[in-house]
């Protein structure tokens, strides 16, 4: 007996997740790109420092799961534009502590507000139950690795 049921691509989780991720990040991307000329890697580094304060590149990598070369380049660009400062650790000179400057914090505050409003707006398209379970399920999937 041959399998004839058509495969439902729209319901294949890796595909579906990617479609949803792409669609839902478009509007936010528009903002950090147009307003600050940032890339995805850059707003992520900015947010990590905005939220957790002083961190090393390695710590950002652990929290964000971004590859270290991405982080290295994002940090370099953010430092060029004076959004953050780098300071070497005296004890272990391989380490560099990264910290937002005043304008880095301003950009973070601005984008954070945009993010909060945008997330709320996305949430409105879902019921409270959907929202709760969606986020819970996504957390599980994201933590699988």
Partner DNA sequence: TGTTGTTAGTTACAAAATCAACCATTAACA
Partner DNA sequence: TGTTAATGGTTGATTTTGTAACTAACAACA
Q: How many helices (H) and strands (E) does the chain have?
A: 6, 3
How remote is the C-alpha of 118 from its chain's centroid?
14
DSSP state of 107: H
Under the binding rule (CB under 7 A), the answer on residue 105 touching DNA is: no
Find the part of the chain contacting its own copies (CB under 8 A) among 54-62, 76-84, 90-98, 112-120: 112-120
Binding to DNA by CB under 7 A, coded x per residue (else -) over 37-76, reads --xxx--------------xxx--x-----xxxxxxx-xx
Under the binding rule (CB under 8 A), the answer on residue 112 touching its own copies is: yes
Is residue 96 a contact partner of residue 89, using CB atoms and an 8 Å limit? yes
Under the binding rule (CB under 8 A), the answer on residue 97 touching its own copies is: no
- Listed residue (100, 96, 107) closest to 85, CA to CA: 100
Binding to its own copies by CB under 8 A, coded x per residue (else -) over 55-84, reads ----------x-------------------
- Between the alpha carbon of residue 87 and those of residues 55, 67, 81, 114, the distances in Å are 10, 21, 16, 29
CB of 20 to its own copies, least distance (A): 4
Question: Measured from the CB atom, is 30 or 127 closer to DNA?
Answer: 30
Is residue 99 a contact partner of residue 54, using CB atoms and an 8 Å limit? yes
Residues that bind its own copies (CB under 8 A): 6-7, 9-26, 28, 44, 47-48, 50-51, 65, 112, 115-116, 118-119, 122-123, 125-126, 129-131, 133-145
């Amino acid at each position: 007996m041959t399998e004839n049921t058509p495969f439902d691509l729209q319901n294949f989780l890796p595909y579906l997740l990617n479609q949803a991720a792409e669609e839902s990040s478009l509007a936010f991307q528009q903002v950090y790109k147009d307003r600050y000329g940032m890339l995805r890697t850059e707003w992520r580094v900015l947010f990590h420092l905005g939220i957790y304060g002083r961190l090393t590149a390695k710590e950002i990598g652990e929290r964000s799961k971004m590859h270290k070369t991405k982080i290295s380049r994002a940090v370099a660009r953010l430092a060029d534009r004076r959004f953050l400062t780098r300071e070497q650790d005296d004890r272990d000179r391989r380490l560099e502590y990264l910290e937002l400057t005043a304008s880095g914090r301003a950009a973070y505050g601005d984008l954070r507000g945009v993010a909060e409003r945008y997330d709320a707006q996305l949430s409105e398209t879902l019921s409270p139950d959907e929202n709760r379970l969606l986020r819970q399920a996504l957390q599980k999937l994201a933590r699988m690795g």
